Structure 1
């Protein structure tokens, strides 16, 4: 007889519980301990205290420089973030046949919550009792709206030549797309970088005269604000839970190495943004 599941409340917990049940208690415990240590190492990486954060928060960066930073950031992560999420969701197939059939659906379900936010869906139902959402509220188009506010033309966006380090940051993530554990790990790091830098980018954008109480900076950079719509903390946690199901001890060294290398690249990215500032007083603030 088929088992009926009628609990549709707390979808995150349902997915995490399913992932936990799909492996042994011993492996789940080992994996979560490893990932907790890795998360601490990432939190202590120098990029988490990069001087760019303070400079952006202080509003000392002029509009022209901030335009360039947004174009760089767009190339490095915004354009490819949902590509990476979809690849992680697709590559859950790599869990089978190591785990029993159907195990890939738990992380696919959990990743879908991140994807729904990224694509412009909202919790709740519309007037017809169907899903609520609008693709124009997807995070990538909202970032493009920020560039519209800056007056950056489509031609300038298309013809923009990103820096070498921006290309390296982007390529490092793209090169992980064929490996489920790798792309999930780097996405978790990317979420951490979003949590670190989005509030500062939001402040810097406000400082040059733009409204940040709606649009992209209403869903990024405000995780502490219960009235806003950011869920970056949950999404990062969920990616680490995905890895807690997927990892074996043989993966630990590789995952730790690529996560810290990705942090190194992000540090170099922000080093470059400071180095490119037009005025010497800005560089002295670093």
Structure 2
């Protein structure tokens, strides 16, 4: 005996109830995005056309804030430092994370312990990371220079040498981000079927050829995700700069980044309109780079 289909009106009523419950469940997320992201973003866009210190009456200045950015050497320098930081940290982080992910994917003893150790820096507060690495980099009694002195090697002034300061912070950023990227790539590695490697071994391919022609192409979706996230995080770096260099005005020329400049203008000098203009310039740069990556991903990202 077959069941009778529900009347059309009853099916329509049930679909409306399901849609209603769906909206109820996503409402907290949508409300949070609207309150903490969309409304502040629109507010900052409006504020970028005004001159306001947070207390006095705001005055409309049009595009003057954006025009001033072109002549602001501190902002231009901060953008240049941001690009240098990104160019140094993103490739190094992805390469190191890929190596770590491949090693963690091997059948070795104590693997959960190693995975935990690599992930600990990800859940560690940037304040603690900055304080520890400032001690490691200390030119007088830091661990790195103590080891270099023991080996009779030159002991550089890591954080106060204009040629080394930004590179030193890049190393900290790479170290603290390897765990997150490695976990993402490890999940991608574990999703690759072993049949590809078994078929390749029958053709006499070795480990390096397997890695280049099988692992990398099939891992490309995870690599693409890590690339996008790494670019966004590196272009918005602030906490490490502030913790490791924020109190030393003499080195800010060589280490200040775009977000540091936004914080300085907005919360130190209270040029809120000017800071909003800087934030929107950085946002446009971020969106442009992301769109370019999305366009070119079809040329190298392979989905099964």
TM-score where L is the length of structure 1: 0.32
Structure with larger Rg = 2
TM-score relative to the length of structure 2:
0.30
* Higher helix residue share: 2
